[in-house]
Every structure is written in C-alpha cells, then in structure tokens.
Amino acid sequence: MISIITNHWQDLLYGLGQTLLCSILALFFSLIIGSFFAIFEVVPSKTLRIIARVYIEIFRNIPLLVITMFFYVVIPMFFVKVNGFTAGTIGLTIYTSAFIAETVRSGIQSVDPGQMEGSRANGMTFSQAMRYVVLPQAFRIVIPPLGNQFINLVKNSSVLAFVAGFDLMYQGNTIASTSFDTLNAYFVVGVLYLIITMPLSYYMRYLEKRLN
Amino acid sequence: MSMIEFHDVEKYYGKFHALHNINLTIEAGETVVLIGPSGSGKSTLIRTVNGLELINSGQLIVDGFDLADKKTDMNKIRKNVGMVFQHFNLYQNKTVLENIMIAPRIVLKRDETENKKVAMELLDRVGLADKAGSYPAQLSGGQSQRIAIARSLAMHPKCILFDEPTSALDPEMIDDVLNVMKDIARDSSMTMLVVTHEMGFAREVGDRVIFMADGRILEDDTKESFFDGQPTNERARQFLSKIIKH
C-alpha cells in the first residue's frame, strides 16, 4: 500500500483534486438549479410547475451515466466538443439538481402555509415571502436529506472515470491496471473518498445542530 | 368613501357554495364585528377582502381597488389592509423586532432608523418591548397575537382584518389581546373587520354587528339594535341566546 502511495502520489493527488473540483462545482450549481426548480414546483403559475415536473422526472429517472454520455458523446456530434471533466460535471449537476429540487420542494411544503399567508397579508410579494420567510425555514428542515444528496454527489463524481475525467476513480483504475496491485489501489482510493465525504458529513451534522 | 364594498359577491370552493349573494358596505373608520356559527363563511368573507381568497362573481371594491379585476395588483391592497390570523402566523425564523420591521423595510422601503423607532413604539403600545429580541417560539399565544397586531400596525394600514384573533388563546390571555384591539378601535380613522365570538368586545367597541350563516348575511345591525333589541332573524336570535347564556 505504501508503494502505491509513494509511486503514484502525484496521480492520486491530481485525481483527488479533480474529484474535489467536480464535486464543488456540481454541488454549487445543482443547489442553485435544484432550488429554482423546487420553487417552480410551488409557484402559482401552472406552466412553470409543468416545466419543473418534466425536468425533475426526466433527470431523476435516467442513470447518471446515460446523462453524462449524452454530454460526452452526443453533444459533440452536433455542437461543440466537450471534454470528459466538463461532460461529467454537467451530467452530475443536472442529475443531482433533480434530486435536490425534490428535497427542497418537500422542505418548502413542510413549512406551515400560514407563513406564506402571513407574509402575503403583510404586503410582501410571492418572491419576497419565499426569500425572507419560507426558504430560510425550508432549508433548515432539509439540511439532513440535503447532506445525503451532497455525499451521494461526491461519490457519484466517480462517473468521471468513464469519460476520462482524470478523477480519483479514473486514477484508481489506471494504477490498478498498471501495478496489478488492485486491492491496495482501490483501498487507497476508497480512503481518499472518505477524506472528502467524512468532513462533509460531519459539517452537515454540525450545521443541523447549530440551527436547531 | 367606503373602505370595503361587496356587490352581489359569490364564492365557491369547487361545488361548495361558500358565499351567497353578499352585499355589504363598510365605511372608513367603522368597526364591524362578524359573527356566526362555524362554517358560515365568516372567515372566507374576511379572506376575500385582502385577496387571500378570490371571488367567483360580483364586485368587491377595497380601498378603491376592484378585486374581481385580474389586473389589480393585490400587493397594493395589502399594503393598506392588514390581517391578524387565528394562529398568528409570525415569521418563525425572525425575531419579534424583525417580524415587525421586515415588511415596512422591503415593501414600503421605510428608512431603517424610522422603521426601528416605529417598531419599538408599537412593541411598547402592545406591552411587549422587552420581547424585541425573542423568537416567536419563545412567546405565549397572547404575546404572539399582540406581536402579530403590532406587525400589522407597522404598515400603517387603513384597515385591519381580524380572523378569530382570540380563538386559539388560553382564556387568561384573551383580555390582553382584546385590550390592544379596543385601543386600536378607539382610533377613529382605522377600519376594523373582526370575526370573533367575543360578544363583550362587539358590545364595547363595535359599530355594527353582522350575523352570517350558510354563506349568507342574515343580519346587519347596529350593535344597539342587535344586542339590546332583538335580531329580526330567527337563527341570529338562537345563536345570540346560545352565546349569551355561557
């Protein structure tokens, strides 16, 4: 195991960096996109609600790998060339955003409807009521399930390995096949994933405790 | 000018006919008490006034705005028409002071120093200046309702709608809330429409009493003729005798 680390630490470090970068980008954008679609699902406008439903149902029910392949293989055939890292990150963002939308929507709907009514009766517009009153309460409620989504996201970033995204999983595959030391190669990769996900998991718990 | 005018208003929830042919005019500065058995449409009626419920037909004019017109901006009406709910609906994520200050800040763009001054004066008026930094979850029902009234007053509305403001309160809390409401009613420029079962309040500060049942207005009297004379309507008489007995 030591030899895997000493011989391949540069590749592993690079993979860890790619996995981290992909995760941070996908987490950031999927949270924004997901929150928007969650709001679309509860707005008075029927058109927006339908758009949100269609988006969520499509991307929640297609394997992540298929979405990623679409961006890696299909899009370049008609539009622009997309490298593996970009295709994987876009795929992961879209896929996760559908789950985040559902999570945040359930949070919005578990906030007492009286909060929205009180805000509207107080003169606020729908978006002001959402922004200042409903969403802050909804996010507090959904921190634990959102934490699960974030952890899944980090692990799902291993989809990059299939599209030459040079992430941890990709490096693990390469090291395993060149060194023939599969056990230790994947063991080290597993530990490196834990190094990202464990602090994330603890941070979400801390956030949950602090807000209650 | 009339503050609120209902002309032949009808309201349905699906097939359920919630409001039948409502005709009602409330003048600016009046305190009108709306009573009736549960399910009679009192809450529905009061909620149509600020557009929380939409009417199906007829005409409803509030503060000069036509609520049946789709082009009417509800937020303009709500700036001038406050509402106090049975379950308070205080913003759970905001302190008491913020509950009062947020709408004047983001809706009226009131200057922050002025906003805080108004809020503190109102907290003082409802006797809860020491709760400025508390969160709604730390307040009793009576305190919450007084804060909700202060939040409504902070918008300097022309009219406040009270939807059973004391029904969810412990008996010993009710007087504190009623006293605040009586204090507001004494301000002659404020229009108040109050759904309540508090007959003492109706008698003391109400100008008119309206009795509703099955979505219809059955009685619309001055409080003198309602309480001291007899309601002409049989159901209103029965209702009154039941309430007064207790």
pLDDT, one tens digit per residue, over B129-149 is 999 999 999 999 999 999 999
Put simply, the answer to whether A121 touches B108 (Cβ < 8 Å) is: no
Written as one string, the DSSP assignment of B174-237 is HHHHHHHHHHHHHSTT-EEEEE---HHHHHHH-SEEEEEETTEEEEEEEHIIIIIS--SSHHHH
Tokens (6 digits) for B33? 């008490």
Q: What is the pLDDT of residue A136?
A: 94
The CATH code of the domain at A2-211 is: 1.10.3720.10
Contact B93 A140 (CB under 8 A): yes
Percent of chain B with pLDDT over 70: 99
**Within an 8 Å CB–CB cutoff, is residue B156 touching chain A?**
no
Kindly tell me if the per-residue pLDDT of B243 is higher than 80.
Answer: no
Q: What pLDDT does A180 receive?
A: 86
Query: Is B215 in CB contact (< 8 Å) with chain A?
Result: no
Does domain B2-90+162-245 correspond to CATH entry 3.40.50.300? yes
Residue with tokens 């634990």: A144
- First-last CA distance in chain B: 39
- b (16+ CB within 10 A) / e for B64-82: ebebbeeebebeebbbbbb
ipTM of the complex: 0.90
With 0-12 CB in 10 A as exposed, 13-18 as middle and 19+ as buried, what is A83?
A: middle
Mean pLDDT of A41-46: 91
Select the residue of B79, B90, B148 nearest A123 (Cβ to Cβ): B79
Residue ranges of domains in chain B: 2-90+162-245
pLDDT at A2: 78
Q: Which residue of A has its CA nearest to B149?
A: A122
Residues A40/A127, Cβ–Cβ less than 8 Å: no
| Predicted local distance difference test score (pLDDT) of residue B47 | 94
What does the pLDDT average to over A60-88?
90
pLDDT confidence band for A52 (50 / 70 / 90): very high
Roughly how many angstroms between the first and final C-alpha of chain A, as a whole number? 43
For residue B65, give the 3-state DSSP assignment. Answer: strand
Interatomic CA distance for residues A192 and A181, integer angstroms: 17
When the pLDDT of each residue in chain A is averaged and rounded to a whole number, the result is 91
Residues 6+ apart with CB under 8 A from B83: A121, A122, B50, B52, B152, B160, B161, B162, B163
Cβ distance of B52 and A136 shorter than 8 Å: no
Per residue in B68-121, pLDDT (tens digit) is 888 888 888 999 999 999 999 999 999 999 999 999 999 999 999 999 999 999
Q: A28 — contact with chain B (CB < 8 Å)?
A: no
Contact with chain B for residue A45, Cβ under 8 A: no
- Average pLDDT value for residue range B216-236: 83
Sheet order of strands, B16-27 included: B16-27, B2-13, B57-62, B65-66
Quick check: B212 pLDDT over 60?
A: yes
Give the model's pLDDT for residue B221. 86
Inter-chain CB proximity B78 and A120 less than 8 Å: yes
Is B107 within 8 Å of A118 when comparing Cβ atoms?
Answer: no
CB pairs under 8 A between A and B: 64
Q: Which residues, in sequence order, are bridge partners of residue B10?
A: B57
Q: Which residues of A touch B102 (CB under 8 A)?
A: 122, 132
pLDDT value of position B31: 92
**A67 touching chain B per CB within 8 A:** no
The average pLDDT across A36-61 equals: 94
Test mutation, B49, B77, B92, B115, chain A, max A CBs within 10 A: B92
| Yes or no, beta carbons of A132 and B102 under 8 Å apart | yes
Which residue is associated with the tokens 């939308």?
Answer: A101
Q: Answer whether A125 sits within 8 Å of B103, measured CB to CB.
A: no
Q: Does B9 touch chain A (CB under 8 A)?
A: no
pLDDT of A11 > 70? The answer is yes
Looking at the complex, report in whole angstroms how far the Cα of residue A116 sits from the nearest Cα belonging to chain B: 8
pLDDT more than 90, % of chain A: 66
Please give the average per-residue pLDDT across A118-146, as a whole number.
93
Q: Residue B245's pLDDT is what?
A: 57
Q: Inform me whether the pLDDT recorded for B246 exceeds 60.
A: no
Report helix angle A84-110 to A135-156, nearest 10: 150
> pLDDT tens, B22-78?
999 999 999 999 998 888 999 999 999 999 999 999 999 999 999 988 888 888 899
Query: Residue ranges of the domains in chain A?
Result: 2-211
pLDDT of A42 over the 70 cut: yes
Task: Confirm or reject contact between A126 and chain B (CB < 8 A).
Answer: no
**Residues B173, B179, B180, CA angle at the centre, nearest 5°?**
100
Q: Which residues on A lie below 8 Å from B83 (Cβ)?
A: 121-122
pLDDT tens for A14-36 read: 989 999 999 999 999 999 999 99
pLDDT tens for residues B163-201? 999 988 888 889 889 999 998 988 778 999 999 988 888
> Are the C-beta atoms of B104 and B122 separated by less than 8 Å?
no
Sort out which chain B residues have CB atoms less than 8 A from A121's CB and list them.
50, 52, 78, 82-83, 85, 89
* Structure confidence at residue A26 (pLDDT): 95
Whether the pLDDT of residue A209 is over 90: the answer is: no
Q: Which residue out of A122, A135, A212 would a mutagenesis test of the B interface target, given it has the greatest number of B Cβ atoms within 10 Å? A: A122
